[in-house]
Amino acid sequence: MADPPRRRMVRAPTGGTEEGRGKPARLKTAKMRTPSSQAWLSRQINDPWSAKARAHGYRSRAAYKLTDIADRFGLLRPGQRVIDLGAAPGGWTQVAIERGVTKIVGVDLLPVEPLPPAILLQMDFTDPACGDLLVAQLGGAPDLVISDMAPNTVGHRRTDHLRIVGLIDAAVDFAESVLTPGGAFVAKAFQGGEISEVITRLKRSFAQVRNVKPPASRADSSETYLVATGFRGRPTGGLAPGGH
């Protein structure tokens, strides 16, 4: 009997987010906008990190989150193989290329404008075929897996948090199945009880695990990043390599 279809945890985003996945907004008029919408647009326009990203040519303010993490933990070096999960609009891939990475494959549900020499796939990461395709396109096992993925929210805090954790778990499964020994993993997370369980899990397969909040991440956001370095291999009893 065939296994039931795997339920996908992500779908195409329906709007912009504060992480800069959409294009910069210009608040020309408040007509037909709710107060909360006006506040959000004004914050986007006046945000110094967004302005800095536009001036530098980065596609999103999130680029500065990765530059901070890379500087602090010695990530992104020439010669590395890198996989970028949730790549759109391309800010993290830009940073990797800027740091000398020439072998990088990114994936997102949204199309990403070309960023040579990166290979960019428009695909659902939770599709069972995606993981093998990413590694094949990369030409070998990655030294670093970075993930800025986040699922669409439905407005119910508990449900949204569980969906976020489920997506992180999928990214961890993938990283543990493909990383080279000594490799590293970076993933967006949000503060909450289940995140401690993810950290405990990562500590079983990585030498060091940190929970960091880069300066470019808004202070009023629960967003945080998990940085795991020194990959030791998937713990005994885990899935076989290639399964996620």
Catalytic residues: 188
- CB neighbour list of residue 27: distance below 8 Å, 6 or more residues apart: 38, 41, 42, 45
Give me the DSSP letters along 128-161: TTHHHHHHHHHTS--SEEEE---PPP-S-HHHHH
SS3 at position 189: strand
Closest CA to 141 of 113, 114, 176: 176
Residue 138 to residues 89, 130, 147, 224, Cα–Cα distance (Å): 20, 12, 16, 28
- CB neighbour list of residue 152: distance below 8 Å, 6 or more residues apart: 10, 11, 13, 14
Whether the CB-CB separation of 165 and 143 falls below 8 Å is answered with no
Q: Helix 48-56 crosses helix 63-73 at what angle (to 10 degrees)?
A: 90
Residue 243's φ and ψ, nearest 5 degrees, are -95, 135
Tokens of 54: 């536009």
